[in-house]
Copies of this chain bind each other. A is one copy, B any other.
Amino acid sequence: MTPFDTANISDPFIKKNKITPSCHGQLNELSFAIKDNIDVANEITGYGSPGWINTHPKPVVNAICLEQLLNAGGTCHGKTKSDELAYSLIGVNSFYGTPLNPKAPDRVPGGSSSGSASAVAGELVDFAIGTDTGGSIRIPAGNCGVWGYRPSHGAISVSGVLALAPSFDTVGIIAQTGKILKKVMGVLLAENDSESNTDSSVCFVEDIFQMSDRQILDKITPSLNKISRFHKVQTLKLAEMTDPHVNCNWLFEQLGFLLSTEIWNTFGAWIKNETPKLSPGVEYNLHNYAESANRKDIQSSLYSKKSFQNKMNNFLCEGRILCFPTTVDLAPRLDDITPDFLAGDYIPRAMGVNAISSLSCAPQITIPVAKVSGVPVGLSFIAGFGQDMRLIRFCNQLNNQLKN
């Protein structure tokens, strides 16, 4: 099988196995699946990588997030496929196949929570747990036309979840509806919904609208008009919210570098000691980005990150919510996934947009709002750090407004 054998469209599950709830609770009757980088007791956590499986033991207990869902009455239906080592945003896995994008079968599902998005979009489960470091929930949820949520960094336990880049790793969910998302996130955040004021002003991120594919803009315009009808809106550039040098390309460079350095902390010793089986694509990225990152630049990049994080959260702290297309390009066609494509500007553009939340630690939700010739398009919303339940309430309310 070649690394880009996208003809191998496959089931979203890497393994189907039912785990019954440990208690009754708010999630009674809800079914879910979990990504293959999250521990299930006595099953190998595969990380989308045969090389990983061959060199790691089975966990003896469930990850904390899985225990939470089982404690609350949810029923797990199995483990979903992940991109290899969760180190991609595309959704193609050369070892296990590419989970179907049920809403756009000739397009990639997006990754790395590819199987989770595929299973939810295909209505095989009510929701699925994924992980998001640089977009790995938001992009597949957007591509597959379902709800996706990346929480504030640190808000949900990552104990029992395989690390990629700990300063950016989060556990979140992909869900069929906003109502399900709200119920599940109440459990994972361990927070009861207080029905407090969701009065928020919306800020359209001008940079991202300017970068976006014209077809995407055309199709989301009716939603934007409705948002303007129901909410106070403004349109600003990232530079106006934070610092003059900030734009999506700068965000991509900061995030890409910092991810690379932490990824080498995570995988370096394993790769040097075990020489595990890797696809050529992942091997290339590990060698050329992670291993090759100039570690003398870590401190200056962390200053940039912290400054952006502080300024963005100051901007968001007074109830502002950012709004922009989840991806500035449509989900790529399966046939288009070639080494040349992957070396092009699709990934920098996608990562630049996703870096707002990854670098600021703030929560983000993507909602399916439109289709371009059948291909789903998501609209994203970011609230300030720690404002997770407020963002969830806002997006549910907004979704009702968009339907009217």
Point out residues on A near B: beta carbons under 8 Å.
22-23, 25, 39, 57-64, 67-68, 71-72, 153-154, 157-160, 163, 165-167, 187, 189-192, 261-262, 264-266, 268-270, 272-273, 295-300, 302-303, 305-306, 310, 361
Q: Would you give the shortest CB distance from A315 to chain B, in whole angstroms?
A: 15
Q: How far is the CA of A361 from the CA of B361 in the complex (A)?
A: 15
Are B60 and A190 touching (Cβ within 8 A)?
A: no
Are A296 and B265 touching (Cβ within 8 A)?
A: no
Contacts A/B (CB < 8 Å), 26 sampled = A23-B296, A57-B270, A57-B273, A59-B265, A59-B268, A59-B269, A60-B264, A60-B269, A61-B265, A63-B265, A64-B265, A67-B261, A68-B298, A71-B295, A71-B296, A71-B299, A71-B300, A72-B299, A154-B167, A157-B167, A157-B262, A158-B166, A159-B262, A160-B262, A190-B299, A190-B305
Given the known inter-chain contacts A296-B71, A299-B190, A306-B191, please indicate yes or no for A60 contacting B268, CB distance below 8 A. yes
Q: Would you give the shortest CB distance from A145 to chain B, in whole angstroms?
A: 31
Give the nearest-CB partner of A299 in chain B.
Answer: B71
Highest count of chain B CB atoms <10 Å: which of A59, A266, A299: A299
Which residues of B are found within 8 Å of A261, using beta-carbon distances?
Answer: 64, 67, 159
Q: Would you give the shortest CB distance from A318 to chain B, in whole angstroms?
A: 14
Q: How far is the CA of A155 from the CA of B202 in the complex (A)?
A: 28
Which residues of B are found within 8 Å of A266, using beta-carbon distances?
Answer: 159
Which residues of B are found within 8 Å of A296, using beta-carbon distances?
Answer: 22-23, 71
Which residues of B are found within 8 Å of A273, using beta-carbon distances?
Answer: 57
Which residues of B are found within 8 Å of A191, using beta-carbon distances?
Answer: 303, 306, 310
Which residues of B are found within 8 Å of A158, using beta-carbon distances?
Answer: 166-167
Give the nearest-CB partner of A264 in chain B.
Answer: B61
Q: How far is the CA of A272 from the CA of B167 in the complex (A)?
A: 29
